Amino acid sequence: MPHMIFIEHDGTRREVDAPVGLSVLEIAHKHGVDLEGACEGSLACATCHVVVDPEWATKLAEPTEDEEDMLDLAFGLEKTSRLGCQIVMTEALDGLVVRLPRTA
């Protein structure tokens, strides 16, 4: 099974199993990672904002226009910011690293 690494708000690295077909948001919830997802993954908010490690950012599909529109609402937006609900785990993403942005 693939795995991924969450870097939490305090800098703690947390490696977790990441089943293929689940979104980063779903994986976070499965493992008790503090990633909100207020709209439950329906692409209607930016509360599942994550910052993808630059080494991994180019391996992801480009964000859709809808995702980019929601990201405009995110606090602490960075060049590799994405919405966790829009990143779906695949075997090719085994080892994916995402950081939870600092909150206001």
Mapped to the 3 state alphabet, what secondary structure does 8-66 carry? CCCCCEEEEECCCCCEHHHHHHHCCCCCCCCCCCCCCCCCCEEEECHHHHCCCCCCCHH
- The answer to whether 97 and 36 are in contact (CB under 8 A) is no
What's the fold here for domain 3-99? Ubiquitin-like (UB roll) (3.10.20)
Task: State the pLDDT at residue 102.
Answer: 82
By CB atoms closer than 10 A (0-12, 13-18, 19+), residue 16 is: middle
Q: What is the pTM of this model?
A: 0.95
Structure confidence by residue, pLDDT tens digits, 24-72 = 999 999 999 999 999 999 999 999 999 999 999 999 999 999 999 999 9
Q: Which of 67, 50, 63 is nearest to 103 (CA)?
A: 50
Q: In this structure, what are the phi and psi dihedrals at residue 51, rounded to the nearest 5 degrees?
A: -110, 115
As a whole number of Å, the CA-based R_g of the chain is: 12
pLDDT above 90 (res 103): no
Locate the domains of the chain by residue range. Answer: 3-99
pLDDT above 60 (res 18): yes
Q: Which of 7, 1, 73 is nearest to 34 (CA)?
A: 7
